């Protein structure tokens, strides 16, 4: 079955599985199989923000005054964040949209990827504000071996899935040999790839990003680079939603309530899935060593950051029903919580991005007796 942008078949989308059912036709949200995605979309929309709202003029001064090893920490971290959001701004769309079968999930994927493009724009805003030549920083993202190494692991599963879906789209389900390369496009293998890709996305959003947030916030804990931290706080607020989304998809798939076969897929892929978490944690620890190779900064060093990697990996593993892989420990960076809390994102209440500020909430109905208990 080839992908169609508007499936003319008449079917009930609430009876479709999340993936590999019918292609979506009408983008309708009046009845939903999974209202959670609709809630995530609404929350994400209420979070809308623009990087230009944050003034970074003090950050420029702070950056110039930093010692070289701190500049290295700050810029490497920013380059890594830029890489992660470059991937996330497009990949959920390219990988999952051709196979999704539920309108609210399809729209969530698009809303999610769109918010990542705002994050990418904010890195340009930050880099433009703190250095004279932004190109030098951006160009290094594809030449810095430490970053390139990371790029390969975060994109590997995405690319494999995208390739298989492309082949399946042309040749249908089954094992195909094209130019002496074998493509296993059986439904089972495709489902395994979807599950593992979703795990890898969850690892990216829930572990890799949080390690980078820790570095950004560590600067602001010392009252420097505070504009940058404000932007990262807004990004972190979005990321928390995205990881709720991927955790939800993973848990629903693994439960088998959406598609019975996915339950078996989750069991079969369990070891591989846990290995993805472990691999990411080890890489993040190596990354911590790379960041602090020329010296630590007050409040954060390779050791503490590595402890945080282990702590956050355990938390994320438990959220998707896996056992902890590292020794249980308390959060070594308790101050992170204050930065990750969304109600501390300070906005004027009349601005629509405050999540608790709702428009159209006035009660317009007025009954005859509504003022009876009024005394003048």
Report the sign of the C-alpha dihedral through residues 288, 299, 77, 241, in that order.
positive
In the complex, minimum distance from the CB of residue 259 to other proteins, in angstroms, rounded to a whole number: 17
| Cβ–Cβ < 8 Å for 193, 203 | no
Nearer to other proteins, 62 or 310 (CB): 310
Among residues 233, 287, 255, the alpha carbon closest in space to that of 49 is found at 233
Q: Smallest distance, Å, CB 4 to other proteins? A: 32
Please identify which residue in 39, 71, 90, 270 interacts with other proteins, judged by CB under 8 A. 39
Written as six digits, the tokens of 246 are 């991927």
- Tell me the H-state helices in 222-369: 226-255, 260-268, 270-291, 302-319, 336-340
Among 145, 328, 360, 369, binds other proteins (CB under 8 A): 328
3-state secondary structure 52-97: HHCCCHHHHHHHHHCCHHHHHHHHHHHHHHHHHHHHHHHHHHHHHH
82/247 with CB nearer other proteins: 247
d(CA 101, CA 76): 39
Which residues ranging from 280 to 319 are in contact with other proteins (CB under 8 A)?
314-315, 319
Backbone angles phi, psi at 181, to 5 degrees: -110, 135
Asked if 101 contacts 19 with a C-beta cutoff of 8 angstroms, the reply is yes
Chain centroid offset of residue 293 CA: 28
Calpha distance 52→328 (Å, rounded): 41
**Taking CB under 8 A as the rule, which mask of x and - marks residues 180-219 in contact with other proteins?**
----------------------------------------
List binders of other proteins among 235-264 (CB under 8 A).
Answer: 237, 240-241, 243-244, 247-248, 251
Of 29, 34, 80, 123, which residue is the catalytic one? 123
Q: Which of 43, 60, 171, 293 binds other proteins (CB under 8 A)?
A: 43
Q: For residues 97-126, which are near other proteins according to CB under 8 A?
A: none
Q: Give whichever of 14 and 344 is closer to other proteins, judged by the CB atom.
A: 344
Closest CA to 201 of 268, 161, 233, 155: 155
Q: Is 123 a catalytic residue?
A: yes
Residue 36 vs 278, nearer CB to other proteins: 36
Q: In the complex with other proteins, which residue's Cβ is closer, 56 or 312?
A: 312
In this complex, which beta carbon is closest to other proteins, that of residue 64 or of residue 358?
358
CB of 241 to other proteins, least distance (A): 6
Residues of span 133-162 touching other proteins by CB under 8 A: none
47-86 positions binding other proteins, by CB under 8 A = none
32 binds other proteins (CB under 8 A): no
Tokens of 224: 């420097």
330-359 positions binding other proteins, by CB under 8 A? 330, 337, 340-344, 355
- Of 116, 114, 79, 109, nearest to 95 by C-alpha is 109
Report d(CA 370, CA 367) in Å as an integer. 5
Q: Which residues bind other proteins (CB under 8 A)?
A: 36, 39-40, 43, 237, 240-241, 243-244, 247-248, 251, 314-315, 319, 328-330, 337, 340-344, 355
The catalytic residues are 123
């Amino acid at each position: 079955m080839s992908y169609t942008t508007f499936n003319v078949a008449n079917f009930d989308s609430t009876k479709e599985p999340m993936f590999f059912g019918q292609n979506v036709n009408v983008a309708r949200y009046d009845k939903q199989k999974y209202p959670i995605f609709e809630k995530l979309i609404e929350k994400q929309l209420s979070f809308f923000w623009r990087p230009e709202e944050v003034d970074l003029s003090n950050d420029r001064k702070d950056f110039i005054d930093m010692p070289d090893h701190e500049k290295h920490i700050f810029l490497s971290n920013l380059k890594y964040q830029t890489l992660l959001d470059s991937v996330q701004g497009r990949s959920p769309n390219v990988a999952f949209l051709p196979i999704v079968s539920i309108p609210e999930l399809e729209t969530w994927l698009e809303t999610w990827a769109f918010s990542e493009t705002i994050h990418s724009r904010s890195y340009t805003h930050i880099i433009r504000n703190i250095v004279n030549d932004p190109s030098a920083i951006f160009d290094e993202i594809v030449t810095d071996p430490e970053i390139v190494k990371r790029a390969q692991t975060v994109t590997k599963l995405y690319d494999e899935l995208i390739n298989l879906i492309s082949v399946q789209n042309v040749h249908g389900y089954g094992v195909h040999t094209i130019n002496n390369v074998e493509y296993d496009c059986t439904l089972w293998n495709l489902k395994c790839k979807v599950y593992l890709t979703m795990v890898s996305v969850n690892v990216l959003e829930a572990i890799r990003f949080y390690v980078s947030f820790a570095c950004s916030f560590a600067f602001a804990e010392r009252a420097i680079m505070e504009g940058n931290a404000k932007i990262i706080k807004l990004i972190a607020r979005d990321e928390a939603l995205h990881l709720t989304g991927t955790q939800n998809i993973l848990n629903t798939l693994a439960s088998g309530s959406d598609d019975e076969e996915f339950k078996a897929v989750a069991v079969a892929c369990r070891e591989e899935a846990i290995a993805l978490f472990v691999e990411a944690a080890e890489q993040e620890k190596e990354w911590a060593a790379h960041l602090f190779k020329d010296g630590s900064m007050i409040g954060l060093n390779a050791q503490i950051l590595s402890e945080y990697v282990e702590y956050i990996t355990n938390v994320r593993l438990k959220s998707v029903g896996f056992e902890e892989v590292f020794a249980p420990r308390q959060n070594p960076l308790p101050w992170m919580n204050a930065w990750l809390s969304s109600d501390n994102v300070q906005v004027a209440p009349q601005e629509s991005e405050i999540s608790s500020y709702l428009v159209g909430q006035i009660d317009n109905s007025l009954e005859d007796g509504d003022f009876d208990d009024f005394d003048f």
